[in-house]
Structure 1
C-alpha cells in the first residue's frame, strides 16, 4: 500500500469511527463459516469503496480475522488481501466493469495454485450493507442491488451509519476452483461473475423484494379471476349490486393486509434492543446460517415457530433482522388489531386473519389470494400453526388452515421452492404464565387491549435468557414429490384447488413440522431446575441434590443428544442453579446442613409450564428410570418391548421424532450413558437399578410419571367399559384426573386438560387398540393397561381403581 493511500485511510477512519457502528453477520464467522485461520485468506468485496474496506477491516479485527489491509506474502510475492469485483458508481458517471487489477489478482492467485499443489487460498465474500430499505414497486430503492455514488454514500453514512451490517459468507476454495476449472484468465472472470450474483442475492435476502403500493395491490387483487368470481357469486346469491360486494372485498383487504414500513423496522430495532436488554440477560440464537442460505438461494421461506408468548412476534422479527434477514410478513389474529398495537404491528409486517373463515367464501378467497400474492412476490411469511399461545408449555396440535393455504398457493403455479423453517422459541420467564395458569383453572380469557400493553410495560424486569433455535428446514416441494408424486397436475392459476390428497398430506406435513420444532428445543437453567424440583414429592431438594440431578440431566443431553438441532447449556450444574436462583422463583432456606431449594404451591403450578417445554427431551430416559424404580431388575428385551409399546403414545403427545430404528439406537445409547453415570448396572442382558443412586433414578423417572398416570386413567375406563363413546371417555377421563390431582397433590394444570385425552384416544385408534366403531379391543387395551400400571405407584393404582368403581355405581 502506498504512503498516500495509507494516509487517506487514516483520515477516512476518523469520521467512520464516530459515525459507523456495525453488526457482523454471522457473529462468530470462524466457527459458523468454518474459516481456517492457518490458510491464506482474501476478502472479495462487491464494489470499489474504501469506506466499505475500512468498515470491513474494523469488523475483522474485532472478530479475530486477518486484517484486509495486511498484504499476503506468497511465493515470494506481496499481494493484496482484498479485491473489488466492480468499479461501482462515481459522482458523474456509472460503470460496472470488473477492475483490471482484480482480474490480474485472481489470475495471479490461480497461477500460484498451479505452481504449488499444497496451496489453498480462501476467498471470503464480504459486503457492507448500509441501507436495507427495499423501496416499493413505484419507487425502487436507489441502492437495493447496486453501488452508491459518493454523495449517496455520504448521506447514508450520516443517517444510517450506526445501523450498518458487515456480511461474511462461506469461503470459496481456490484450490478446488483451480483443480476443477483450471487456472487461466477466463476462470478469473468467472469468479467475478459468480461473486456478483452472490452479492445480488445476498442483498435481496437482507432487504427483501420491493414493497407493494397498497392501493395498487388492492386493485390487482380485485382484478384477479378468483376474487372476481367470488364477488360475482356473492352478489348473485345475496341479490345485491356487484359494486357493493366489491366494496366489501376492499374493506376485507384493508382489514387483512400488512403495510410494511422499513423505517419502523429500523427504529423498532433500537426500541427492541432496549427492551431485550431490559427484559433478558441475553438471547441465544442457533442455526441461523442455514436460513440465510435458504434466503440467498431464492427459497420462499415460511417461518413456523411455536407460540408461547406475545413476545414471540417481536422476538423472531428482531432476531431475523439482527441476523441479516428481512423480517417476515406475520399472520396475526384479528384480536391483536386494537389501537395502538394494531397499526404498529401492521407496519411491522403483520397481516390479520379472523379466527374462522367458515361460512364466508368471499373472505376466505380474499385472504387466500392475498397470501398467494405474498408468496408470488417473494416475501417471507410467518405463522403460528398452533393457532394460539400454549397455556401448558407443551406444543399444541397444529391448526392446518394456513398450511393448507400455503400448498394451495403452490398449486397456483408458484415458481420458487417453498421451505418451512420450524423455530423453537423459549424463555426463562414468560410474562403471561400466571395468566395461563388461571385460565387452565377456569378463569375466562381476557380480551387483548391497550391496558394490557401498559400493564406489561410497567412490569418490565430482568427475565433471564431467551432462546431462538432454527430447526431443520422442510422443503415442501420435495415433501409433495414424496407424498403426492403427481401434485403438479393439480396446478390451476385461477381456481383454488382441494385435490383428494390435500388433507392427508397437510396433516402429515403439520405433524412433521411440529416434530421439527420440538427437535430444536433449548434446555436452560430454569427448565432443568423446574424438571428436577417438580419430580421431588415435596417440591424441594437440597442444593447439593439439585446440582447432582442437573448434572445427570446435562450429561444425558450432552452424551446422547436428542437431535442435531436441540441445544444444551455449556455451563456447569452449579452455575445453572446459581443463575436460576437469581430469577427469584424459588424459596431458599438455610439450616445447619446447608441450603434447601423449594417451590411454593403457586410457583409449582407455574413451573410446570417450563418443565413442559423440554419434557420430551427426557421422555425415554425417564421411562427407563421409572421402570427400574418399580422393578429391581429387568431383562433388556422386556425393557425394550415396554418402551416400544408406550412410545407411539408419547410420540403423538410430545411430538417426538424417533422412528423404530432410531428409537432402538437412542435407547441403547441412553442405557450406556445411564450405566456410565452409575444410575443402572448392566450385567449381560439384565439391567438393574443401582441402590446407591436410587433417589436420582426416582427423580428422573417421575418426570414422565404424570403422563403415565393419565394413560392409566383412560385405559382403566376403557378396560371396564369398552363400548364407551369417545366424547364420554374424554369427559370421564378428565373428571377422574381432576379427582386424582386433588387426592395426590398433582399441580400440573394440563394433567386434566381435555386436549391431552383427545390426543391419547386418537393415538390408541391409530395403534389398533380400538376397532372401526371406536370401541376398545379388550385384550390389547388390558395388556397395555397392565404395562402402564407397572410404571405407577401402588397408591395411585388403588386411587384410580377406586374412582372408577365409584363412577360406575
Structure 2
C-alpha cells in the first residue's frame, strides 16, 4: 500500500535525491562492467530501500546504463528491473510467511525462450561511512554499520550523509549459466544465496567484522584456556596467587588492546584529509585492487615498509578513503603518549613492548589478543622491520610478529590469511632533520608529544608527493605449501620445528615484495645520479640524461614487478628536487651545474637507498665493465653469480626468474640503451672518450659501496687462519675499516659502515655455505679464498690497492 501511494512521487523524489546526494566513491567505473547491450539487465539490492532504488535510477541515467525502473517483459509476467533480496520478517503474532523467490519467474521464462538471458548486477550502497565536510552527532547516528537500518534511520541517513555515499557495483552474472536444470525455486534460492555471499563480502570489506566492546574482548582473552593455563603456571613459579596474576593479565590486556571507534575513524579521516592536502602535493595510490580482491574472503595483514611515523596514518587513511576497513595497527609502546596514545588507540592502534620474551604472561596475553583479531577476520597491520629505517633501505625483518601470526594461523582461523606488502615512497619525509642527524652519527631521539608541535610548524614547507604502492599479496597457505611441503601435518596449537626456517623465509619474501613495489620519484632519481659522481657535482645536462636513462631502463626490464615510475620530464624532476631543498643549482659559462653540499649529500643517501634495489643487477653488470673491456656470457655469469646472494640479502632484490636469465635480459637492455656493444657473443664497453662510457660508469657506481663492504669484510677475515675470529669481532673490525674508508675519502656517510650491513653479509655467507661456526669461531676453506681472488677483477687496480691497504690496518 505504501509503495502504491508513493509511486506518483518517485520522479520528484528521484530528482531531489540526485541533486542532494554526492557519490564519494563509485567502484568500479561503470564503463568497465561489461554489460551486454542486447541482454536484459536486472539490478539486485541487498534489501528493500526506497532511497537505494531511487539513487540507483539516478545513477544509471547519469551513466547511460539500463534503467532499473523499467519493466522486464520476458514472458507472461512483467518484473521490475531492480529487485531486493527477500529478508525474513517478524510481527507481533509470529513470523511472516516466506518471501517469494524473486528469480523463479525469470527462470521459467528462460526455459520457454532458450535464446534469451538475464544479467544480474548486485549493487551495494553505503550511506555515511566516508568522512565529509561536517562532523557531528547526527551524522554518526545516521551512518551505515552492521546494524539493520529502519525507515526513520534511513531517512535521517539520507538527510545527514547525502554527501558521503559509496556505490559498489558487482560483476554481472548470467542467470542462464546459473540455472542447472533443476526446479526454478531451487535455482532461485541458489542465486539468492550467491548474492547474499557477495553482499556479505562487500560489507566485510568496507566495514570490517563487527567490533566487540574492548572490555568484553579483554575479558575473553583473560578467560581463554591458554591464558588460564599460563596464569596457573606463572603463579606457581613466582609464588603468587592466581587472582593476582589474573589481575596482572587484565592490566596487560588494557595496556595492549585497541579501542577502535567508527566515529573516531571518521574524525581522523577528515582531519588527515586536510593534513595531507596541506603537506603534500598529492597522494598517489597504485595496486589497491589487489587488496580489494582478497578483502571479502581473506583476513588481511598489511605489511608496509617503515620510513616515517606517518606511515600507519597514511595507509589507514588511504584504505578508508578507497572503501576498505582500516586495520588494527601494532604500534610501539613508546607511542602510547598523552594525547597521542588515546587517539591512536581509538583509531585502531594496539600497543606492544619492544621486547617481552622474558615476561611469559605478557607474551601469552599479546599472542592471544592477536589471535582473536586474526581469527575474527579483522585486518591487521604491522611493520616487519620493527622500527623506522634510518638508512633508507629495507631492514632485515624481525621474526616476532611474523612468528606470532604464523602460530595463530596454525591454531586455526575462519578465513584464509593473506599478507599485503605496501611500499610508501616520499619525496620528502617529515623526519628529514632527525634522519640527517642520525645519518651523521647522532643518537636516536626519543618520541615526545611535543613532536606534534614541531610537525605543525612544518606545515608550510613543501614536501612534494607521496606514493602508496600495493605489491603482490602473499597467501600464507600457498607460501607454506611451497616452503614447507608437510606443514599441514603439524598439530594445531604447537610450535613445529620447521617454524625456525619458515619465519625468516617469510620475512625475506615479504621484503622482496615490498621492494618490488617501489616508487621512483624525482628526489631518489636525482640522488641515484648525483651520489654516483666523485665530488657530488654534475653537469645538469648529464644529470637529466642519466635520470631519463634510469627510467627507461625500468620500462624495459623493471627491477620490481609492481613499481611505479614518475610522470613528467627530467627538467620537471630537477625543478622538484631543487624546490624541496635537496640540491643547489649554479649557473656557469659552459653550462649549469648541480651540486649537493655535505648535509644535502648525506640526506640524499637515504632517498637513494629507498630504490637502490631496482638497479642492483644492471649496476653490478656495469661495474664489472669498469675494469674490464669485454666479457662473454659464461665468464660474466661465473664472476657475478657468487656476489649476487650478498647483494640480494642487503637490498632484498626481486628477480623475475633465475639469475642467468635475468643477466641475459640485463645485457640486452644495456645494449638497447647504448651502454654496451654486442659482437659475436661478446659484450664490450664503449670507448672511454664516448659519452656512453660515462653513463655506464655512473650506473656501475651505484653498487660500488655494497661491493666495497664485501671486499673489506673478506679481506679482514682472510688475513687470519680459519677458526681465528668470532663473528662479533669480525663485524666490529669490518665496521671500523669501513668507517676509516669514508673518513679517508672525505665523505660523511655513517650509513656506509652500519654494523647491521656486515651482520647481513655474514648471514648470507653462512647460508650459502662459505662460512660455518665451530666453538663460536668462523671457519672457511680454500673455496672462499679462491672466490675472493676471482672477484678481485671487478675492481680496478687503484681501488683494489686502496681497499687492501685499509684492510691491513
Q: For residues 728 and 143 of structure 1, do their structure 2 counterparts lie closer, same or farther at Cα, with a shift above 3 Å needed? A: closer
**2:71, 2:644 → 1: CA distance?**
58
Q: For 1:450, what is the secondary structure of its paired residue?
A: coil
**2:246, 2:195 → 1: CA distance?**
48
Question: How far has the Cα of 1:607 moved from its partner?
Answer: 1.0
Q: For residues 629 and 514 of structure 1, do their structure 2 counterparts lie closer, same or farther at Cα, with a shift above 3 Å needed? A: same
Q: For residues 164 and 764 of structure 1, do their structure 2 counterparts lie closer, same or farther at Cα, with a shift above 3 Å needed? A: same
In the other structure, the counterpart of 1:137 is none
2:653 matches 1:656: yes
**2:91, 2:111 → 1: CA distance?**
35
In the other structure, the counterpart of 1:228 is 228
CA contact (8 A) 1:330 1:349 kept: yes
Which piece of structure 1 moves more, 569-578 or 444-453? 569-578
Q: For residues 648 and 164 of structure 1, do their structure 2 counterparts lie closer, same or farther at Cα, with a shift above 3 Å needed? A: same
**2:554, 2:614 → 1: CA distance?**
8
Question: How far has the Cα of 1:676 moved from its partner?
Answer: 1.5
Q: For residues 223 and 92 of structure 1, do their structure 2 counterparts lie closer, same or farther at Cα, with a shift above 3 Å needed? A: closer
2:662 matches 1:666: yes
In the other structure, the counterpart of 1:735 is 736
CA contact (8 A) 1:736 1:804 kept: yes
**2:735, 2:80 → 1: CA distance?**
69
Query: For structure 1, which runs of at least 5 residues remain unmatched after alignment?
Result: 134-139
Q: For 2:771, what is the secondary structure of its paired residue?
A: coil
2:789 matches 1:790: no
CA RMSD of aligned residues (A): 3.5
**1:83, 1:156 → 2: CA distance?**
22
2:628 matches 1:631: yes
TM-score (norm 2): 0.89
2:762 matches 1:769: no
Listed as ranges, the matches of 1:454-603 within 5 Å are: 454-460=453-459, 461-492=461-492, 497-603=494-600
2:280 matches 1:280: yes
Of 12, 15, 22, the match for 2:14: 12
**2:565, 2:91 → 1: CA distance?**
56
In the other structure, the counterpart of 1:269 is 269
Listed as ranges, the matches of 1:17-36 within 5 Å are: 17-18=19-20, 20-26=22-28, 28=29, 35=34
**2:743, 2:628 → 1: CA distance?**
27
Listed as ranges, the matches of 1:126-525 within 5 Å are: 126-132=123-129, 144=145, 148-172=149-173, 177=178, 187=187, 190-297=190-297, 299-460=298-459, 461-492=461-492, 497-525=494-522
**2:276, 2:409 → 1: CA distance?**
37
CA contact (8 A) 2:57 2:67 kept: yes
In the other structure, the counterpart of 1:676 is 672
CA contact (8 A) 2:42 2:68 kept: no
**2:61, 2:527 → 1: CA distance?**
42
Listed as ranges, the matches of 1:51-200 within 5 Å are: 51-56=51-56, 66=65, 68=67, 83-86=82-85, 114-115=114-115, 123-132=120-129, 144=145, 148-172=149-173, 177=178, 187=187, 190-200=190-200
Q: For residues 503 and 92 of structure 1, do their structure 2 counterparts lie closer, same or farther at Cα, with a shift above 3 Å needed? A: same
Question: How far has the Cα of 1:257 moved from its partner?
Answer: 0.7
Q: For residues 339 and 771 of structure 1, do their structure 2 counterparts lie closer, same or farther at Cα, with a shift above 3 Å needed? A: closer
Question: How far has the Cα of 1:593 moved from its partner?
Answer: 4.4
**1:231, 1:726 → 2: CA distance?**
39
Q: For 1:713, what is the secondary structure of its paired residue?
A: helix
Q: For residues 339 and 728 of structure 1, do their structure 2 counterparts lie closer, same or farther at Cα, with a shift above 3 Å needed? A: same
Question: How far has the Cα of 1:786 moved from its partner?
Answer: 3.6
**1:654, 1:65 → 2: CA distance?**
50
Alpha-carbon deviations, 1:771-793, whole Å to 9, x = none?
Answer: 44353535333333344433334
CA contact (8 A) 1:422 1:517 kept: yes
Q: For 2:163, what is the secondary structure of its paired residue?
A: helix
**2:779, 2:796 → 1: CA distance?**
25
Q: For 1:478, what is the secondary structure of its paired residue?
A: helix
**1:315, 1:161 → 2: CA distance?**
26
Question: How far has the Cα of 1:491 moved from its partner?
Answer: 3.8
Q: For 1:115, what is the secondary structure of its paired residue?
A: coil
Question: How far has the Cα of 1:381 moved from its partner?
Answer: 1.2
Alpha-carbon deviations, 1:241-274, whole Å to 9, x = none?
Answer: 3222222111111111111111000111111111
Question: How far has the Cα of 1:617 moved from its partner?
Answer: 0.5
**2:286, 2:608 → 1: CA distance?**
21
CA contact (8 A) 1:86 1:98 kept: no
Q: For 1:12, what is the secondary structure of its paired residue?
A: helix
Q: For residues 798 and 174 of structure 1, do their structure 2 counterparts lie closer, same or farther at Cα, with a shift above 3 Å needed? A: farther
Alpha-carbon deviations, 1:697-747, whole Å to 9, x = none?
Answer: 111111111111111111211222243221111111111111111222444
- Matched residue count: 785
CA contact (8 A) 1:88 1:146 kept: no
Question: How far has the Cα of 1:177 moved from its partner?
Answer: 4.8
TM-score (norm 1): 0.89
CA contact (8 A) 1:471 1:565 kept: yes
**1:303, 1:772 → 2: CA distance?**
37
In the other structure, the counterpart of 2:806 is 803
Q: For residues 803 and 484 of structure 1, do their structure 2 counterparts lie closer, same or farther at Cα, with a shift above 3 Å needed? A: closer
**2:349, 2:168 → 1: CA distance?**
27
Of 637, 640, 644, the match for 1:640: 637
CA contact (8 A) 2:122 2:171 kept: yes
In the other structure, the counterpart of 1:699 is 698
Q: For 2:389, what is the secondary structure of its paired residue?
A: coil
In the other structure, the counterpart of 2:137 is none
**1:595, 1:71 → 2: CA distance?**
67
Which piece of structure 1 moves more, 36-45 or 16-25? 36-45
**1:737, 1:463 → 2: CA distance?**
33
In the other structure, the counterpart of 1:136 is none
Of 613, 618, 622, the match for 2:619: 622
CA contact (8 A) 1:437 1:606 kept: yes
Which piece of structure 1 moves more, 453-462 or 80-89? 80-89
Question: How far has the Cα of 1:614 moved from its partner?
Answer: 0.8
Question: How far has the Cα of 1:141 moved from its partner?
Answer: 11
Alpha-carbon deviations, 1:106-156, whole Å to 9, x = none?
Answer: 7768987x427xx9x7644331112559xxxxxx99964576333121111
Question: How far has the Cα of 1:189 moved from its partner?
Answer: 5.2
Q: For residues 447 and 209 of structure 1, do their structure 2 counterparts lie closer, same or farther at Cα, with a shift above 3 Å needed? A: same
Q: For residues 241 and 354 of structure 1, do their structure 2 counterparts lie closer, same or farther at Cα, with a shift above 3 Å needed? A: same
Which piece of structure 1 moves more, 576-585 or 305-314? 576-585
**1:716, 1:429 → 2: CA distance?**
38
Which piece of structure 1 moves more, 183-192 or 587-596? 183-192
CA contact (8 A) 1:705 1:792 kept: no
Alpha-carbon deviations, 1:519-548, whole Å to 9, x = none?
Answer: 222222222222122112232333322221
**1:254, 1:367 → 2: CA distance?**
11
Q: For 1:535, what is the secondary structure of its paired residue?
A: coil
CA contact (8 A) 1:87 1:96 kept: no
Q: For 1:629, what is the secondary structure of its paired residue?
A: coil
Q: For 2:563, what is the secondary structure of its paired residue?
A: coil
Question: How far has the Cα of 1:599 moved from its partner?
Answer: 1.9
In the other structure, the counterpart of 2:610 is 613
Q: For 2:355, what is the secondary structure of its paired residue?
A: coil
In the other structure, the counterpart of 1:45 is 45
**1:123, 1:408 → 2: CA distance?**
41
CA contact (8 A) 1:21 1:164 kept: yes
**2:181, 2:567 → 1: CA distance?**
43
Q: For 2:166, what is the secondary structure of its paired residue?
A: strand
Alpha-carbon deviations, 1:76-133, whole Å to 9, x = none?
Answer: 99x9995333267999999897787766567768987x427xx9x7644331112559
**2:238, 2:389 → 1: CA distance?**
40
CA contact (8 A) 1:525 1:580 kept: yes
CA contact (8 A) 2:129 2:143 kept: no
